[in-house]
Amino acid sequence: MATAYQNARDVFNTYFAGSKGHLDTMDDYENPDTGEVYHDGAHFMRLALDIQFLSVLEYFACHITGENQTFKEAGEKLNEAIEKLHLKWREEGMDTVRPFDAPGMSLTLQAMIYAKRYNYKRLKSVDSPVQTMVDELYHRSKENLEDEYLHSIVQDSTRTFRQHVLDQEYREPSTYTPYFSTNIVALYGASLALDSYLITHQQNNDKSSAPADYPLYGRIEEIGYYIKAMNYNHQVEGREGKVGGGESSSRRNEIHAGYNSWVAWSIAQMAFGLVYPPSIADDNDSVFFSESREMQDGFTATYYRSNKTVPFIYDRNGTIMDGGNAVGYLYPMVFAETAGSDSFLPWLDEAVYAYCEREQIGSPFKDAIVRICEIDHDTTGSFFHRALTGLTMGMLRGLTFSC
């Protein structure tokens, strides 16, 4: 048992600190099936999640625990990661990418929001203008996402993303396949909510503003209610939540544990665009927070049927499309937990710990969220980066992991 910060420090020391070089593994992405190495949107997504983790860890080491060594080393890696992300976006051409084709741009905006709120004054501003990089990535990603949401026509449709959201149109009627992956729009709504709460409310207005004062308050609300409207009962045993993505061959027509964990994570964050509690660690009485918890209940219910969380389930009849156990993919969902008062995180810790024991992953003396990082920290990062997000959210929410 350890706090989120203690586990985050452990993961940092194992994979980031000194010459460990986790950030260097993001220079190339290897397809685990074909061995092909290529440059793709995965770089932006993973580097952005690294930055979120390093941002919150550096802040906690500086202001909460006072651990100078971790504070110094995390700060160095944070600057390095922002420089890498800025360079990759410059090479790619930020204005040439469709922001909703992949999650990287929304996660970049979120990462820059954390950096502006928690680390900005301590970022490099002389030899390498990291502060300027943060400002540029923040403004350009926000503008590009807005333009995509308002003006881009959805593939195989004649309408914009916003038009589909406002009319709560999710599936193409004749084929019953989704127009687009829910998690993409959800991550955008979450980004706006974080911008509203952390930047506009806390930083710019010294906690004196109201949610409706944020210029895009209505957009957070419309995206959140769009996500909420997509719920359904899965084999009447519990709500698994929204279809978040899946195999391209079937037009994202599955429940995907990893994608859905991001949807649940995102709608919990959107709660902070509707209701401003005193702290991000405090409970939130928005309906969006309750929705995220119902999605937790859905995954718990389906897990108990087979003692595993399958990566893909066909969403119309529950047919399992792929075996394996992806229960570790659910760690981003802990953002909807409140310290000392909820049961999802203890359940998740026990399920992941049991999985690690069966598969002989990691040391039994470490918490489950640390153990699953060993699975793919140097390849695809599917477990690693969802665990990293769980630790980031755990620090913000003041959580302790049970095993």
* Residue 254, SS3 per DSSP: strand
Element at 198 (helix H, strand E): none
Spell out, as residue ranges, where the chain has pLDDT lower than 70.
24-41, 175-177, 231-255, 304-306, 310-324
Q: Please report the pLDDT score of residue 179 as a whole number.
A: 82
| CB-based burial label for 358 (10 Å; 0-12, 13-18, 19+) | exposed
* DSSP designation for 320: B
Stated pTM of the model: 0.92
Q: Please report the pLDDT score of residue 27 as a whole number.
A: 60
252 to 49, 158, 248, 289, 370: CA distances (angstroms)? 23, 19, 6, 25, 30
Q: Which residues of 269-289 are buried (b: 16+ CB within 10 A; e: fewer)?
A: bbbbbbbbeeebeebbebebb
Name residues whose C-beta falls within 8 Å of residue 106's C-beta, 6 or more positions apart in sequence: 99, 141, 145, 184, 187, 188, 190, 191
- Closest alpha carbon to 184 in 293, 288, 104: 104
* Residue 177, SS3 per DSSP: strand
Q: Please report the pLDDT score of residue 151 as a whole number.
A: 97
Element at 38 (helix H, strand E): strand 37-38
CA pair distance 88, 3, nearest whole angstrom = 33
Q: Please report the pLDDT score of residue 255 as a whole number.
A: 62
Rounded to 5 degrees, what angle do the CA atoms 253, 299, 350 make? Answer: 140
Beta strand 312-314 pairing with 254-256:
antiparallel
